[in-house]
């Protein structure tokens, strides 16, 4: 009887040890999965931006490859596409940002140049970067930017006004897409927002202004 009880206790101890080991493995697995998920979340932002720029997903325009000769061949068609322009800035961005022209008309394969007039209304330098998309979204893969101010950050001095250019072409394959058969108007939109280092510039400017105000009083 005692032998049977001892064997049962050993079996229970073994089972308990196995359960503890499995729980430890599951805890390690769960922690690893959480860390991996967190890493993917942080990486997904730049990866998503790259994906959109390459595919035109969600109305994001594409950036032209180095060799654009295949695109710069105006299609033999009477179908003219009207491209209108729109520009906005973030609430914390003391810039004015407006298109210099209301619209341009092009045929697919014909390059076009447009400008936006941008002014820094603040009393300190500000660096901004622009996001962009087109409407309707399905036109995004065919709207190709050859050169654009949106490719880089833009820094404006206090009161500075500049003309920011965008050179683009509509891929002739636009005409072959059934979903765009009735589309003859495209809107290109930009939204400027400040980069993180601008807050430091503003704080430094305020720190300089405060002693001056104290001396004046």
Give pLDDT tens digits for 141-177. Answer: 999 999 999 999 999 999 999 999 999 999 999 999 9
pLDDT value, residue 64:
53
Does residue 98 sit in the same domain as residue 153?
Answer: yes
The more confident residue out of 67 and 152 is 152
208 lies in some domain = no
Model pTM score: 0.64
202 lies in some domain = no
Roughly how many angstroms between the first and final C-alpha of the chain, as a whole number?
99
Does residue 108 sit in the same domain as residue 191?
Answer: yes
Does residue 83 sit in the same domain as residue 131?
Answer: yes
Q: Give the C-alpha distances (Å, rounded to integers) separating 35 from 39, 45, 48, 137, 178.
A: 6, 17, 20, 34, 44
Does residue 25 sit in the same domain as residue 89?
Answer: no
What range does the domain containing 77 cover? 62-197
Does residue 71 sit in the same domain as residue 35?
Answer: no
Does residue 50 sit in the same domain as residue 74?
Answer: no
215 lies in some domain = no
């Amino acid at each position: 009887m005692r032998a049977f009880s001892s064997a049962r206790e050993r079996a229970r101890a073994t089972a308990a040890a196995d359960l503890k080991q499995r729980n430890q493995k599951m805890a390690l697995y769960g922690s690893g999965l959480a860390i991996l998920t967190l890493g993917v979340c942080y990486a997904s932002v730049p990866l998503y931006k790259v994906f959109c720029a390459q595919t035109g997903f969600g109305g994001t325009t594409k950036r032209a490859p180095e060799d654009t000769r295949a695109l710069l061949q105006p299609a033999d068609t009477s179908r003219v596409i009207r491209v209108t322009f729109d520009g906005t800035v973030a609430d914390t961005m003391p810039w004015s940002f407006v298109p210099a022209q209301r619209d341009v008309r092009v045929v697919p394969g014909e390059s076009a140049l447009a400008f936006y007039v941008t002014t820094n209304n603040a009393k300190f330098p500000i660096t901004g970067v622009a996001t962009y998309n087109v409407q309707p979204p399905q036109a995004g893969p065919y709207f190709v930017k050859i050169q654009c101010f949106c490719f880089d950050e833009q820094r404006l001095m206090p009161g500075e006004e500049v003309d920011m250019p965008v050179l683009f072409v509509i891929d002739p394959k636009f005409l072959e897409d059934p979903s765009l058969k009735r589309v003859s108007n495209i809107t290109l939109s930009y939204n400027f927002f400040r980069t993180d280092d601008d807050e430091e510039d503003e704080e430094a400017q305020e720190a300089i202004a405060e002693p001056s105000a104290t001396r004046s009083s």
